[in-house]
Amino acid sequence: MVKLNKIYTRTGDAGTTGLVDGSRLPKHAPRMQAVGDVDEANSAIGLAVIAMGARPETRWLTVIQNDLFDLGADLATPIPKGADEPWALRIVATQVQRLEEEIDMMNADLAPLDSFILPGGSAAAAAVHLARAITRRAERSATAAAAEVALNPHALAYLNRLSDLLFVLARRLNDNGAGDVKWVPGASR
């Protein structure tokens, strides 16, 4: 477990931050942008949990929040040339598969889309849509970082499935899609 006795260390005052292996890099490095965007997505999911109230799906989201801390650690742990370190905390295929199973279960009750939908409807669905949009940004940041450094492909897949799950969950929260707000192209012309 992590034990934090002191919150400030002053080690980042010069604009660098430490990775899990002890190496340092600029706080603006693509890897750190991805870590920060994952943290922001996690925070947005926390707000969505509050907006959803006592629904069964909130448990899924709290599990996902824990996964996102694992994912942040994964992104902040360089993959050495050759074999990965056995101690490294990595997102694994079964976590991605769990998201796919949850998506399939929720999607079974939804009517097929006949239009794009606007991010809204109920307050809970709007909060989940916001978390989805931030998750998409985290995915873009992670793929940008992966163009420069080796990243775990399961971490990238997890972010992609998570945004899908959040989209389907938002529809579920909008009365299984009946409360979705449909996009009307050119409606305000």
**CB atoms closer than 10 angstroms to residue 118:** 13
Tokens read off for 126: 């709007």
φ, ψ for residue 16 (rounded to 5)?
-115, 165
Residues 173 and 43: their CA atoms lie apart, in Å, by 19
DSSP summary character for residue 16: E
Q: What is the pLDDT of residue 4?
A: 56
Rounded to the nearest 5 degrees, what angle is found at the Cα of 180, between the Cα atoms of 60 and 109?
A: 55
DSSP summary character for residue 19: -
**CB atoms closer than 10 angstroms to residue 184:** 10
pTM: 0.89
Q: How far apart are the first and last CA of the chain?
A: 57
Q: Where are the alpha helices (DSSP H) in 84-181?
A: 93-107, 123-146, 153-173
Question: HSE of 108 in the Cβ direction (CA atoms, 13 Å)?
Answer: 5
Digitized pLDDT (tens) for each residue of the chain, 189 residues in all: 655 565 556 655 667 676 667 667 877 889 999 999 999 999 999 999 999 999 989 999 999 999 999 999 999 988 877 666 666 788 999 999 999 999 999 999 898 888 899 999 999 999 999 999 999 999 999 999 999 999 999 999 999 999 999 999 999 999 988 899 999 889 888
